[in-house]
Amino acid sequence: MQNLKQQYPEIYAAIRDETRRQTETLEMIASENFVSLPVLEALGSVMTNKYAEGYPRHRYYGGCEHVDVVEGKARFNVKKLFNAKYANVQPHSGSQANMAAYLTLAKPGDTIMGMHLNHGGHLTHGSPVNFSGRLFNVVAYTISPDTGRIDYDEMAKLAREHKPRFIVSGASAYPRIIEFDRIKEICDDVGCYHIADIAHIAGLVATGLHPDPLPYTDIVTSTTHKTLRGPRGGLILTNVEGGELMLPNMPKPKTMPEAIDAWVFPGCQGGPLMHVIAAKAVAFIEARKPEFKEYQQQVIKNAAVLAETLLAEDFKLVTGGTDNHLILMDLAPRGLTGRASERALENAGITTNKNMVPNDPQKPFITSGIRLGTPALTTRGMKEDEMRRIGKMISYVLSDLEDEERQKKTRSEVEELCKRFKFYEIPPE
Ligand code: DSN
């Protein structure tokens, strides 16, 4: 980064400091991960300069022969990875993927169903401040306050009552398996579509460690940067390939893939981010390697051991544990808020995020919960022993949020641990 260093030293310094932060602290935000150096190199490449509106071999610009190669590789590999018949790798983000998927299956004003944001859903699953809540009439399903698990009976009842155009399954803060087959039965019962947003669990799904939604859905959307460990971005998959459908926003019948393609571009987006698509291609190839499955297995083992450690330290976890890569701590019984806990942990070098828990008495900016994830730490090579140690560190810090000495002491322990699990080189001063 010589040029950046010489010509824009403040930007260079911020990137160097961010590299140091990522390297010297414990990254436990469940939706974050660390990409490989080849992914990073593809992202920082000249592919960023190229306009390529359209799709491979059908572009609105000349000079697309090389970007066509990377988009072709990205589509081929993601289809193999998920055993999907069709893929669109152009969505700039998970939100853009959801927007295109929703508009493929519903018209503005239609009723849709998604998980309530405060119960672990995502903004785009119908929050009133998001396009999803503004364009559509949203009926939110929730988790059971007793079990912390999705209340499938309530979902079925709401679906029968409101007859949505589709149900979107998937979540941002749900530590358990999502029963896509059961949601499909509910959708079939009322004759609606099923979209699964697998942003959080994509890496687990790709490696067979979480039930596959594709057989039970019309469309699957995802981000590419969480458990899937690619660059920031989105993607869309479907196995509904044959026949032409009269989809709501199409002037004439189209197949599902044609309608999705049209809703991504030109429906929702302009030029695709070809440097990101090149990096997605690399990440999808990486994810097809046997090591990626071993990595995902370790992500799950690590989350399970971290959960056991926190339970042994007498913390309450929503649902009592985890099946996947994340844990939701309910700190209300300890009289703590998520906000204060997040701050204390951050001072100690442990990065997490505050999160709502079922029936949370606090507002979303305060919350009673903390969400923890193991994908990033597992990428660094940490295993069960480190998880036990980290669980104890979390417990130590949360046992007295006011005690700055504890935070300082933990921070040194974190730094010492991080030194043993190096990954990115920190750019020089
Ligand atoms: N903001 C992401 C998360 O943290 O889960 C979801 O997009």
At 125-172, the pLDDT tens digits run 999 999 999 999 999 999 998 899 999 999 999 999 999 999 999 999
Ligand 1 centroid–CA 41 distance in Å is 24
Pairing of β 111-115 and β 137-141: parallel
Give yes or no: residues 212 and 162 share one domain: yes
Ligand 1, closest atom to CA 173? Answer: 5
CATH number of the domain encompassing residue 375: 3.90.1150.10
Give yes or no: residues 212 and 318 share one domain: no
Give the gyration radius of the chain's Cα atoms: 22
For residue 413, what pLDDT is reported?
98
User: Does residue 197 carry a catalytic annotation?
Assistant: yes
Give yes or no: residues 204 and 350 share one domain: no
328 inside domain = yes
34 inside domain = no
| Mean pLDDT calculated for residue range 301-323 | 98
Give yes or no: residues 279 and 191 share one domain: yes
32 inside domain = no
Ligand 1 centroid–CA 6 distance in Å is 35
Other Cβ atoms closer than 10 A to 185: 13
Give yes or no: residues 355 and 382 share one domain: yes
Q: Whose CA is nearest to atom 4 of ligand 1?
A: 31
For residue 174, what pLDDT is reported?
97
CATH number of the domain encompassing residue 233: 3.40.640.10
Confidence of residue 348 (pLDDT cuts 50, 70, 90): very high
16 inside domain = no
| Mean pLDDT calculated for residue range 271-299 | 98
Peptide bond into 9 cis (omega under 30): no
| Proportion of the chain above pLDDT 90, given as a percent | 94
Give yes or no: residues 294 and 264 share one domain: no
Give yes or no: residues 264 and 316 share one domain: no
C-alpha to C-alpha distance for 120 and 315, rounded to whole angstroms: 20
| Mean pLDDT calculated for residue range 99-115 | 97
15 inside domain = no
344 inside domain = yes
User: Does residue 184 carry a catalytic annotation?
Assistant: no
Residue 54 domain boundaries: 42-287
User: Under 8 Å CB-to-CB from 416, ≥6 apart: which residues?
Assistant: none
88 inside domain = yes
Number of structural domains in the chain: 2
Give yes or no: residues 282 and 295 share one domain: no
SS3 content of the chain, % helix, strand, coil (to 5): 50, 15, 40
| pLDDT at residue 246 is higher than 90 | no
Contact 207 CB / ligand 1 (< 6 Å): no
For residue 197, what pLDDT is reported?
98
Ligand 1 centroid–CA 171 distance in Å is 9
C-alpha to C-alpha distance for 41 and 277, rounded to whole angstroms: 12
For residue 380, what pLDDT is reported?
98
Catalytic residue among 176, 232, 354, 380: 232
425 inside domain = no
Contact 232 CB / ligand 1 (< 6 Å): no
C-alpha to C-alpha distance for 416 and 215, rounded to whole angstroms: 46
Say if residues 179 and 325 touch (Cβ distance below 8 Å): no
C-alpha to C-alpha distance for 34 and 18, rounded to whole angstroms: 13
Domain boundary, last residue among 287, 318, 343: 287
Give yes or no: residues 282 and 387 share one domain: no
Q: How far is CA 367 from CA 15, 357, 403, in A?
A: 31, 7, 21
Confidence of residue 234 (pLDDT cuts 50, 70, 90): very high
Contact 31 CB / ligand 1 (< 6 Å): yes
| pLDDT at residue 67 is higher than 90 | yes
Other Cβ atoms closer than 10 A to 12: 17
Task: Give one word for 10, left, alpha or beta, with left for phi > 0 and alpha for psi -120 to 50.
Answer: alpha
Give yes or no: residues 176 and 247 share one domain: yes
Domain boundary, last residue among 247, 271, 287: 287
- pLDDT: which is higher, 120 or 8: 8
Give yes or no: residues 333 and 381 share one domain: yes
Confidence of residue 256 (pLDDT cuts 50, 70, 90): very high
Catalytic residue among 27, 197, 212, 330: 197
Give yes or no: residues 253 and 317 share one domain: no
Confidence of residue 118 (pLDDT cuts 50, 70, 90): confident
| Mean pLDDT calculated for residue range 311-337 | 98
Domain boundary, last residue among 233, 257, 287: 287
